A and B are shown apart, each in its own frame.
Chain A
Amino acid sequence: MPFAVVGLNHRTAPIEIRERFAFAATEVTDALAYVLQGKGVAEAVLISTCNRTEFYLHLTDPDEAIPRVIKTLAAQAGELPKPAERYLYIKRGPEAVEHLFRVVSGLDSMVLGEVQVQGQVRDSYEAARGLTGTRQAVRAVFNRLFQSALSVGGRVRNETRLSEGAASIPSAAVDLARKIFGSLRGRRGMVLGAGDMGELTLQCLVDEGVASVMVASRNMVRAQRVAEKSGGESVPFADFWDRLPETDILITSTAAPHAMITLEEFRRRLPGKLKSPLFVVDIAIPRDVEPAIGDLPNVFLYSVDDLEHIVTANFERRKAELPKAETIIDEEVEKFWRWYSGLRAVPFIRHLREQAETVRQAELDRALSQLEHLSEADRRRVERLTRDLLKKLLHQPTSRMRAAAEDGREHDILETARFLFGIEEDGAGENAAK
């Protein structure tokens, strides 16, 4: 089988093992160059993200190449609790192509349908394309494979709802905030308390463009740390109410055993009606915000349970889209494989064309030497006539040979054609690919 993927992912190895196998962006080209130096590898792409490290290989000699790739991965990981092979998988042929298509579509991701992986695969492909000359990592076949993969990812996302809806609590909060405020650029956020989930949600909001961030916590050291990380300011816990009127998004995640924001206090501190919306994300358990505050005009209050419901509903919806996505992937694997199989006829077709061209040129030279009275224009016409004639005569047999190869029926047909045209057997599709 000419294709293989060798690697590990979040299903076969825990994070502490995956990070050992991971290649930094600066190490990727060296790793690829090393793999390509060995025998048996025509093309290679290395995808290394937090969830996976995978070598995609176009092989001319699998027995030689795959052990070398495993050795490369093991060397990268160093000392491990178990042998490196225990964490790795090897998929070959159409299974490897299908695996790549599943990866790029987000079907193999930790968060089903995640979109970032498409960009990560594109970056890996681009990095491999950057290797040129004798270390060229991507040629015709992998160009086609990875372009097909990226287009499959796009198709799955356009034709299914696999990537729709938030898939985590912080992203659900961001999604809701966007539906209230539109763009989050320039919005002001505040975190009350500074629990891990609150910090994570805050970071997601900052990534979306939330401009100024305040962190109010009883633990000022922690507040300062979180504020520094998100480029905001820490404020004393006691100042929380004073800063609330200038806030658009409030995230609460204190460890208090009772509600920190009561309806009575809210009304006392903010006696007028809120003219613009206030989005409150209460991630704390027990809750920091009295539920009745959600009934106030212009206050949108969401608890951790509400966000979890959103995530669960989205996950169920994504799961329901799996069959559609898999049908697309099956179609595309078949399409790619047909194209690849068609390459098996290419060396023969090339030889046939070369042979025919040699005959044409020789016969043309002979004929023209006897037709010296022809003008230059007429000589060109005769030459064009022979070329067009040859092209038309060869068109039908070569197209049919390619089609037969795509359908896997090329063996007998090519044998017969070789016999009829007197063309010696040579390398198959792999040579054409190069």
Chain B
Amino acid sequence: MHVLAYAVAAVLYLAASIRYALRFAQGRRGTTALVAVLVYTGVLSHAAGVALYWASYGEPPLVGLGPSLASLGLLVALALAGLGLFSSARAVGLILAPAASLLLLLALLIGIQPTGSEFAFRGPWLVFHVSVSFIGYAGWLVAAAAALMYLLQFRALKHKHLGAIFEFFPPLETLDRLSEWALVIGFSALTLGIAVGWAWTIRFEQGLRWGDPKVIWGVLAWLALLLALWARFSRWRSTRQAALWNVAGFAVVSVAYLVAKLTIAEARFFL
């Protein structure tokens, strides 16, 4: 049953993505009420999927690649729904809606069910560690999406290419503010997530295993996020440079994840 709810959400996010893309291609400003209906209904269906999963398996969908991607997708969709309340920032959905669709579709392809062997971190420790870490990654995704749009809008304005990007994308100031807030939230959450994970290993194991790809990637992500944050608040960097650092950091960390996932056997349960 939960798979059906997830599938409905994926279809709705996909439909919203198409509407965003059409609106962008037409060079229109703002979005329509239909997009909001698709996103909000998608989030409700997605949340129902989470609840049904929890009810079926007696645990939240936080362990295993499929459930994790589905939950990360929900956080991205929630951010998208939240941004829907601010007309000036709605256009960021052009990236966030396909991101939510992609995460959920991947999860459905992989299969959204618990992977028993990895569920050693049972209980509130795990729920808290994974949830706040996911909030961190989702926050960073929003920040990177806004930063990428900032760079494209900046280029359009600078080179006087006043086409679809100029019309559809939000103002530079809005994108910069959004990126800044999302970075702060993302960094705080990821820091807390990593700290809780670390504390758990000290409490229940022999501390962090520094050779573990999950640990290496987590620290890499945290450092990249820290650099992006530093660039944003440094007096010596312009907002455009901060956006560049943000996007580049996110790209490096995403590629590192994929490489680790595909090449290191130990990383197969990663995320």
Binding site for B on A (CB under 8 A): 161, 164, 176, 178-183, 273-277, 294, 297-298, 300, 302, 306, 310, 313
A167 to chain B, nearest CB (A): 14
Give 3 closest A-B pairs by Cβ, nearest first: A182-B173, A182-B171, A182-B174
**What is the bound-complex CA distance between A141 and B158, given in angstroms?**
53
Given known contacts A179-B157, A306-B160, A310-B162, is B172 in contact with A297 (CB within 8 Å)? no
* B137 interface residue (CB < 8 Å to A): no
B-side contacts of A178, CB under 8 Å: 171
**A302 x B238 contact (CB < 8 A):** no
Least Cβ distance of B156 to chain A in Å?
A: 9
- Which residue from A164, A176, A275 sits with its C-beta under 8 Å from B239? A275
Q: Is B153 an interface residue (CB 8 A)?
A: yes
Contacts A161-B28, A300-B157, A300-B158 hold; do A179 and B166 have CB atoms under 8 A apart?
yes
In contact, B28 and A181 (Cβ under 8 angstroms): no
Chain A nearest CB: distance from B199 CB in Å? 39
- Is the pair A274, B238 in contact by a Cβ cutoff of 8 Å? yes
CA distance A164 to B168 in the complex (A): 12
Chain B, 149-174, CB within 8 A of any chain A CB: 153, 157-158, 160, 162, 166-167, 170-174
**Residues of B contacting A: mostly:** helix
Which residues of A sit under 8 angstroms from B174, Cβ to Cβ? 182
Assuming the A-B contacts A161-B28, A176-B157, A306-B160, are A181 and B238 also in contact, with contact meaning beta carbons closer than 8 angstroms in the complex? no
**Are A180 and B157 closer than 8 Å at their CB atoms?**
yes
Please determine whether B238 and A179 come into contact, CB atoms closer than 8 angstroms: no
Contact assessment for B239 and A179 in the assembled complex, using a CB-CB cutoff below 8 Å: no
Closest to A273 in B: B238
B160 touches A181 (CB 8 A): no
Q: B29 — which chain A residues lie within 8 A by C-beta?
A: 164
User: Which of chain B's residues 201-249 have a Cβ closer than 8 Å to chain A?
Assistant: 235, 237-240
* B158 contact set on A, CB distance < 8 A: 294, 300
Residues of A within 8 A of B177 (CB): 182
For A176, the chain B residues whose CB sits under 8 A away are 157
A300, B238: Cα distance in complex, Å:
14
B88 on the A face (CB < 8 A): yes
Known A-B contacts A179-B166, A275-B238; the reply to A302 vs B160 at CB < 8 A is yes
Which residue of B153, B170, B171, B240 contacts A297 across the interface (Cβ within 8 Å)? B240
Complex-state Cα separation, A297 to B157, whole angstroms? 12
Q: How close is A116's CB to chain B, nearest CB, in angstroms? A: 18
On whether the beta carbons of A179 and B153 are closer than 8 Å, the reply is: yes
- What CA separation (Å) do A206 and B158 show in the bound complex? 24
* Bound-complex Cα distance A300 to B172 (A): 12
Q: Are A179 and B240 CB-contacts (below 8 A) given A275-B235, A310-B162?
A: no
Q: Which residues of A contact B237 (CB under 8 A)?
A: 275
